[in-house]
Amino acid sequence: MVKINIYYLYPDHLNLYGDRGNIIALCRRAGWHGLPFNLVSVHPGDRINFAKCDLLFMGSGQEYEQKMAVNALKERRDALLEAVERGMVILAIGGSYQLLGRYYTTVRGVRLPGLDILDLHTEAGRKRMIGNIVIRSALWDPPRTLVGFENHAGRTHLGPSVKPLGEVIHGHGNNGADKTEGAVYNNVIGTYLHGALLPKNPWLTDYLLQKAIAYRSQQFAFKSLDESMELQAHRAAIQLTRSPWHKLRSSRF
């Protein structure tokens, strides 16, 4: 029987700016598709069995919560990396996105080691980058837009072994300079898009579920769902950016 295991890391600690809405979206759309799933909440002190995890969600947290998560996951870092190389799906938001990288340097110049799963590093800036953001993502052909809300002081810089999740149309993105947002490696996606991300971008929700199915070489027929409300929210988010519509003309909603 087809079934996926969705793991939610530290739901009481890594949940800034509505990140829990991503888990709600994953579970709701899985249910609407008729896809059986098992939701496992991982709390501090729990030992994650990455051999059973198909899709890991990591929300954002402050510096304290990030340190706690890094210290806990360091003990299982080899197992996590092995699962990533096999194709386990991860969606990491904000602070969790940063901790998957090689290191984070604080505004005081203190370098905090990351998990070194993704080829990227983050330097703290003195000015926060805040606001609605629209990106164009090449995860699909043709590319599709993703919308969200960003609020971060970190400037993330990608190495050559990862690709950006998308090109910034409006907003700041990874560092406010190179027009990239997020990072993709195998089936791992890291991003600064909060708000929550998935309810306003249902095609990304289905993308993650489809990758989780494929990870175990399972077969499942996804349904065509009514996305009128999601599309309305997506378009409203784009209108809030006051981006010129001609820039978005070639993108699918």
pLDDT of residue 242: 67
Query: For 171-229, what is each residue's pLDDT tens digit?
Result: 999 999 999 999 999 999 999 999 899 999 999 999 999 999 999 999 999 999 999 99
Nearest to 113 by CA among 159, 73, 160, 153: 73
Supply the pTM of this predicted model.
0.93
Q: Which residue type, as a one-letter code, is found at position 121?
A: H
User: Dihedral sign, CA of 232, 194, 78, 50?
Assistant: negative
Phi, psi at residue 216, to the nearest 5°? -100, 15
pLDDT of residue 241: 83
Q: CA–CA separation, 173 vs 151, rounded Å?
A: 10
**Class of 4-248 in CATH:** alpha beta
Q: Which has more pLDDT, 67 or 6?
A: 6
Instruction: For Cα atoms 216, 187, 123, give the angle at the middle one, nearest 5 degrees.
Output: 150
Q: How many residues does the chain have?
A: 253
Domain layout of the chain by residue ranges: 4-248
Q: CA–CA separation, 58 vs 61, rounded Å?
A: 9
Nearest to 15 by CA among 34, 41, 52, 36: 41
pLDDT of residue 68: 81
How much is the average pLDDT of 106-134? 94
Cis preceding-peptide flag for 142 (omega within 30 of 0): yes
